Structure formats: structure tokens, C-alpha cells
Chains A and B, each alone.
Chain A
Amino acid sequence: MVATYPPRTTSPLGWATRLLACPSCRGALRERGGHLGCAGCAKMYAVEGGTPQLREAGDARTDVVRDFYTAAPFPGYPPKDSLGSLRARAGRSEFAKLLDRAIPGDACIVEVGCGTGQMSLFLATANRVVIGADLTRASLELGASAARRFGVERVLFVETDLRRSGLREGAFDVVYSSGVLHHTPDPRASFAALARLARPGGIVVLGLYNAWARIPHRVRRAIGRMTGLKYIPLDPVLRDRAAEPARREAWLRDQYMHPEEHRHTTREVQRWFRECGIEYLRTYPDSLFGGEPLEGDALFQPADDDWAFENWASQVGWMKTLAHEGGLWVTIGRRADSTPALSPSESIGRKLA
């Protein structure tokens, strides 16, 4: 008789504890009777429905964002969803395909701000392990239940706050965060926390609203707000979803009613990268003029050029090409092999702590 293959992991927390850390003292966590206990400060953290709750009390602005997403987890799952259709939807995005192609088959990945976890599930193939981290329990529950339904074993959802995160610093091959940092109170500080999660040589993939590409949307939104969101001109996503009220409402909330929103430029993000010892690789879409379409694992290769004027002009061009979906662009960088010196303010802060 043929032996059945043993499941790859008996408990998802087994492998994942090594990728987590105590949010208050950064100590190692151990699994103790259904809880996670810190080896350093002996704090205990609950694990509800397989989702560890590694969160300390946050600030008021963060809580507003959490409440916003608790009321309506974004983007949610359509009824009768399957792993196949999730992959088919992701396959429509050239970026998702390139990302999947560029990430090695045995990478440790963290998605910061995973929402309901579609990208985490999409990336959790081969021998990869994925941690999907988010503030909002309601979203994570949807993600975790989808993971169970689809039989995706190598993903763990964690409830945590980026600024005091329960994620192990320097442990991840790929740190992915898209459409998240611009909803945090201080995106620059959030990025510093994000960058520390990558191992030396690890990749950071950061998607943010572009200050230029978002202009058309802001005009749209201004008009919309004047009419109490009754009349919103020229939003192609709303138009596409006219027949699906739930999905239309989700987009409306996310794009028109969000309590916290910032916008950024390529220059600004490149500065953040420098400050955190992240070597800039490229943007997606390409900020070069007439660049060849990316192929194979090119997404994590350095761009041929990085010229400030070209970057600026591309951003202006994105007003046309990216604005219809909210003006999100992605910057990719690699953490330098040697850890950068801590900035003076940071090391003082740590001493005080």
C-alpha cells in the first residue's frame, strides 16, 4: 500500500514562530498551550482561530483606521471563490505575475497590511512561507478562512501593528506592502519599521499612492464630496462595478471615505530607501522612457537608469495611465548586505526604551 504523504506542517505556528517576535521587547516567542509566550518578558499573546494576536494598545489615529477596516474588510472574497479563480484574477495583473516569477520558490515572505489576504494566498505556493500581517482582525479572519478553504497551508495571518510589530526583524527574504503605508499616520517612520523586517540582501516591495498620479482621483473625489458622494464623475472602477453593489461600495469606501491618506513621490521614497539602507532597484510601472516590458525575474533586477528628471516626467505621465485605479505605484529595493548604522535619534530612542 502506498503511504500517504505527511502534511508539510503539522501546525502552522510551528514554522511561523521563528518569524515572529514579541511586540513589546522583541524577544523570541514560544508556543505554550495554545498561546504564544515571550521568552524575554514573559508576556502571553492569544492565538484565536489560528491567528496570533501580537498587538499592543495603539495610538488614536491607527485605531481610526482599524475601525474603518473592521466595519468593512477590504477587498473581501466573492462567493464561491476558489484558489483557481483567485489565481485567475491575480493573473490579470502583469505586476502580480512578475512578482510571483521573481520571488524564489523557498522564500520567507511577509505581507504587511495584507487586508483579506489575497496576495498572501497567491504568493504562498511552492516551498514558500508567507506571513500576512494586518491591523484588522475581521479582515484576517476572512483570509484565514479562505486559506483553510483553499487548503493553503504555508501561510499564517497575524494581527499586529507595524510600528510595534510582532514580526521578527531581519528574517524575511521579501517584504511586501502595497497600498498600506499611505494610510498610516507617519509613512516615513512606518517605512523604517518595514525595512528592518528584510534580511540583509532581502527585497522590499512598496506600493504607495503617487502624488502626481493621484491628482485626477482627487479632483474626482473633490467633486464627489461636494455632492455628498452622490455624483462621482469618470471613475472607471465604479462604473465597472455598477452591477455589483457590494464591490462598488467597497471601492467607494476605500477610495473616497478613507480617514487617513498620504501621497508620495519617487524622490521621497528614494530618500526613505537611502535612510534605511535600502538600495533602490526600480519602480513598477517602469519610470524609464521607452523601457522594454519586463520579463522573467526582471522585477528584482536594478533598472538600467535612475535619472531624476525622467522619474519626474514619468510620474506626470502616470496621471494618465495609473489614475483610473487610484494612482498606486510600486518601488522595489534591496536591503544592503551590511546593516546600516542607526540614525542618532533612533539609537537614543532605543536607549531610553
Chain B
Amino acid sequence: MKILGISAHYHDSAAALLVDGMPVAAVQEERISRRKNDAAFPVGAIEYCLNQAGLEPEELDAVVFYEKPMLKFERILTMALREWPRTFSSFPHAMKSTLGEKLWVKGLIKSWLGVPSDKILFSEHHRSHAAAAMLTAPTRDAAILTADGVGEWAALTVGRGKRAGAKVEVDLLREIRFPHSLGMLYSTFTAFLGFPVNEGEYKVMGLASYGSPRFADRVREIVERTEDGGFRLDMRYFEYHTNAKRSFSNRLIDVFGPPRAPWEPLDPTSTEGRRFADVASSVQHVLEEILVEMCTRLRKELDVPDLCLGGGVALNGVCNARILRESGFERVFVPPAPGDAGCALGAALLADRVFFGNPDRDFPDHPYWGPALDPQELFRVAREDGLPAEELPNDDVVLDRVVRELQAGKIVGWMDGRTEFGPRALGNRSILSAPHTAEQRDRLNKSIKFREEFRPFAPAVPTEHASTYFELPPGGHRLGRFMSGVFPVRPEHRDRLAAVTHVDGTARLQTVDRDVSPRFHALLEAYGRKSGLPVLLNTSFNLAGEPIVNRAVEGYSTFRRCAIDMLVAGRCVVTKRADRTAEIDSGAPEEEAGLNAKEEAAE
């Protein structure tokens, strides 16, 4: 069966294609359309998926949308009525945005793809999350916890997935409904701390390490625990359910002080910066507390050793690591795309395994489902642009060159194979650098990424060496596979891993498997042989505000617009030429020389 999964309209839209139960392609629309967090109907992503399989839309057996728009609309209407008249000003806005194309997804799919209505299916938001987490993981029987901002009604669910022979089940047991949402809680504080919602959450997590949770009690007052193990938000502190512009209320400001303006400098060593760091730390602390406790209960209740985490909250690596350490689960699985984009894949899997009852298949355990790289493209573009591009004879020569450059402190743009599905660059579209010094981190920050100083960079390390340099609990390797966990760097190595060690001595490492990405693994090994430390700094290949690069031309354009020293695509290598100013003639301008000559001739 050929099943297309689609997620769209809220943050990052995406498409994923299954053929006979196996994934063929999955990609976020932003990588194709080049608009960061593109939420439009993912035409480009769908087109890529179909092309990859050589299919026409009419050959599809089913198209699955990741959630139920009508249920969502019901929630928006209900909330608007329930909070009336405070929703007076946001109501027209909410209606306009929903009644546009978001509600008429069936018609939209029909008109774009020309498939008949009976082939269009709708999953449920959190069930798609659950399936994306459970059915992509190498487990047969697992507990599931999904948490995000909000889906239709649910904001957090727990459930259980079973893959027993031919029969696959993904069942949600309980849910906590909007407006009581951990995702919204975290986003509200993201906005309070002056970061953009839906992408600034990482910054809150990074900032949290600088503070102490001295406001934790006040946050606990806002998030009241209930006897059944759930929680309830005190909505007097929030406005996201009534106001389209601001998500927190004046009461929250009374408790935590004035919010930070996005453009104000944030220095965690100043008094004011310290307050923001403490707020971040307190929220992070309470989030961890709640989730760890819920997972512990779930472990006791279901008595299975595996846990699958889904939803945007599963991107919180600090929290994931704590769940692994403290909740009693032996293995914790977080998919490479736990957010809404991953729901496209989840919905397709759910339709295939559960709805159609097709035989269960093991899901290949890697994130590389996007468009493949064409190194020749780089070769052509660089030539046209006048930069020296070389095609090296074999991989050994490439690795040798790259290692040499990295050792000299150069920054390398590394492109290889297919684009990652999900928000993280896992060695196919990465910027690499030596991980040893804080100066190197500052250089990356200043000349390429323009991140705040308090945001750490991540290391990549071969799986077999991970425990040498990082303190991993049992199961930690697996969490590191898609950069889903934050773990302590071993104290004796912190000095030499300064660029990737956060202020609290931790790192969000990626463990690289030889089987999953052989070339990246070989590069790390080669670097290890030369420098004695098989670790590289790995950050996503993009500039601030842009999506991660996909095609070689985009990599090249990014390379030209920032201080990356060397670009590698497959075996094609491009380096920058010397300073442009050297080309300027330092003598008198020609124009004047000509003029003088003419004057002299006239005399």
C-alpha cells in the first residue's frame, strides 16, 4: 500500500510516504520552500515524496492528515465562548485564521492532489505523536507519553503501544486537555523571557543552566498537581486562551517581575539576567519534576521496560535524560522528529499498521529520509561563481583533508547523503568544528550562528567511545542517537571539550553509529586518530532565521554568506579564496591616472 502522511498549518508542516509499510521519504516543507518553520500546506514536500517513489497522486491508496481540524475548531469555539467576553478581541482573529484553509483540509487535499474523498483519512493529533514515537522505535511493547502545546483538545496523553506479531496497537489511555498544557506553560515562559515561541524553547533550556530554581515554589503554585497524577494550570496567570498577542497575564508579571524585551541584552551574570536565568531554571525544574513523576507512575502501572516520548516537549533533552535516570524505565525512545512535523510520518504509520492492519515491519532506525545530495551541483555552482572546487578521488582523501582543516581550527560545512527528518542536523547537513576551546565556540557564534552566549553547541562522538568522554546512564547511548538527551561530560575531559561543554558541565551529545552514518563515523574516527579525541562540534548547517540547508546550492549560498572556511559535499570540496581586499589596486585609481595622462598629452 502507498500511504502519504501530511502535517500542516500550525508550526512546521511536513509530508511522509510509506510504500508497503516501509518509509520511502519524509521531509519538512521548510527545507524545500526555504521558509523557516513553514506552516503552509506542504506542496513541495509532497511533490518530493511522490517523485522519490516515482508515483502519481492517483496511485496513492490513502492520504492521512495528522489531526482532526473540525475537533480543533470545536476547541477554539468552545474556548472562545467559555472565556467570553475576554476573548472579544482575539475572536475575529481566531475565526479568520481557522475558517481560512485550516478547516477545509479535505477539500485542500482533493484540490492539490486530485484524490477522491474516500481515500482521505484523518488521524488524531496525539495519536499521530504516539505512533511517530512508538512505531519508529525498536521496541515491541512500550509505554507512551506525548506532550506538546495542544492538539485538538489533548495537550498531554499517556498510552501503550504493542507490536505483537501481525497485530499492532497504539492506544491512548488518558489525556489532559487544553488549556492545561505543559507545552503552553513552557512556551509562555519562553515568551516571558523574550524569546520567539516555537523556536526559542532551546534558549530557555540553555539559560536554565545558569540559574538556580529559586522560583520553583512559585511555579508550582501555577501548576497545581491533581490527585490522579495529572496537573492543572492556574489560568489566572495566563492569557494564551483569550489573547492572541500575549500569553501571560499581569499576575504572572507580579510574581516574576517584568518580562524581558527580545532585543535587550541578556547577561546571566547581571542581577537582571540572573533573575531571568532563575525563572528559566525554575520552569525547567518543575517541568522535569512533573514529567518524571508521571513517567514513574506509568512505569508502575504498565510494567513495561520501554518508554516512547513524543510531542514537542520531548525535544527537551535535559528532561529526557532525567526521565531515563529516575523514572525506572530501562530504555527511552525519542524519535528524530517528535514535533508536529513527525506527525506526518506517525499518521501514515498509524493508518498502515493499525487502520489497514498491514503486517508489522521494523522501522529503519535512522533519520535520513529527505532529499539526497547531488555533489555535482556544488561543483557546477562553485565553478560558475569562480571559486576553486575540487573533486577528490576517494573518501580517504576527503576525510584526510577535512581532518587537517578541522585540526587547524577551520570551520567546515559538511553535506552528505539524504537530509535529516526532524529539527536536528545529525551529520548529513552539519557545520563541524574542533570541540576543544571556548574561543572556537565564540568564533562560531560571532561569525556564523549569532547565538546567545548562553546557548551551548553539541558534540558528536562514535557510539563506542561515548562512555569514555560522557557519563551515560544505561540506555543513554540510545537517547544520544538523535541528540535527545543531555548528559554530563566527564570532568577530566571538560578542558579539552570546552566548546561543547555547557556551563553546568553537560552536553547534548549525538552518538554516531557506524551502521547509521558510516561516513560521519569514519570522519570522527579519523579525527580521533589525529587529535586523540574522536569528538567534533556538530551544529546545524544554517544561518540564524533560516531553515537547515537541503540542496548543495543552498549549502553553497550559506557558505558564501558566512565565515565557514570549507564546504564539503560528498567528495566535492570548496574552499574560500584569500581576502577580497587584496584584489584592490592600492595605487592611484585608474580613472585619475588616465585623466592625468590625457592632460599631460594635451600639454
Contacts and interface: CB of A to CB of B under 8 A. Distances in A.
**Do A and B belong to a common assembly?**
yes
A247 interface: no
A87 B388 CA distance: 32
A15 B579 contact: yes
Nearest to B581: A15
A105 B561 contact: yes
Interface string A240-258: 0000000000000000000
A295 to B, nearest CB: 9
A168 B263 contact: no
A2 interface: yes
A155 interface: no
B380 interface: no
A151 B446 contact: yes
A153 B586 CA distance: 21
Given A5-B409, A15-B579, A129-B581, A339 B591 contact: yes
Contacts of B595: 350
B93 interface: no
The majority secondary structure among interface residues of chain B is loop
List 7 A-B pairs, minimum CB-CB distance, nearest first.
A5-B409, A85-B265, A105-B561, A89-B263, A15-B581, A105-B560, A88-B263
Given A84-B451, A88-B263, A92-B263, A5 B588 contact: no
Interface residues of A, number: 48
Interface in A3-37: 3-5, 15-19, 21, 26-28
Interface of A: 2-5, 15-19, 21, 26-28, 40, 78, 80-85, 87-89, 91-92, 97, 101, 104-108, 125-127, 129, 150-152, 168-171, 296, 339, 350-351
Contacts of A28: 586-588
Contacts of B580: 106-108, 127, 129
B265 A40 contact: no
B453 A84 contact: yes
B599 A26 contact: no
B437 interface: yes
A78 B266 CA distance: 12
A106 B580 CA distance: 7
Interface string B573-595: 00010011110111111111001
B263 A85 contact: yes
A3 B576 contact: no
Contact of B447 (A2, A91, A126): A126
Given A80-B265, A83-B446, A85-B264, 15 more contacts: A5-B408, A5-B409, A18-B585, A26-B589, A84-B453, A92-B263, A104-B561, A107-B580, A125-B447, A126-B560, A129-B579, A151-B446, A168-B584, A169-B589, A350-B595
Interface residues of B, number: 49
A89 B582 CA distance: 33
Contact of B599 (A126, A339, A351): A351
A106 B588 contact: no
B407 A150 contact: no
Contact of B581 (A18, A80, A84, A339): A18
B407 A3 contact: yes
Contact of B262 (A80, A88, A127): A88
A350 B595 CA distance: 10
B366 interface: no
Nearest to B269: A80
A81 B442 contact: no
Contact of A152 (B407, B446, B453, B588): B446
Contacts of B443: 5
A3 B588 CA distance: 39
A127 B559 CA distance: 10
Nearest to B602: A351
B561 A26 contact: no
Contacts of A26: 588-589, 592
B560 A104 contact: yes
B562 interface: yes
A168 B589 contact: yes
B439 interface: yes
A28 to B, nearest CB: 5
A275 to B, nearest CB: 17
A42 to B, nearest CB: 14
19 contacts: A2-B434, A2-B437, A3-B408, A5-B410, A15-B579, A19-B581, A21-B589, A26-B592, A28-B586, A84-B452, A88-B263, A125-B563, A127-B563, A129-B579, A129-B581, A169-B589, A170-B591, A171-B584, A296-B34
A193 B452 CA distance: 39
B263 A82 contact: no
B437 A97 contact: no
Given A4-B409, A168-B584, A170-B589, A83 B576 contact: no
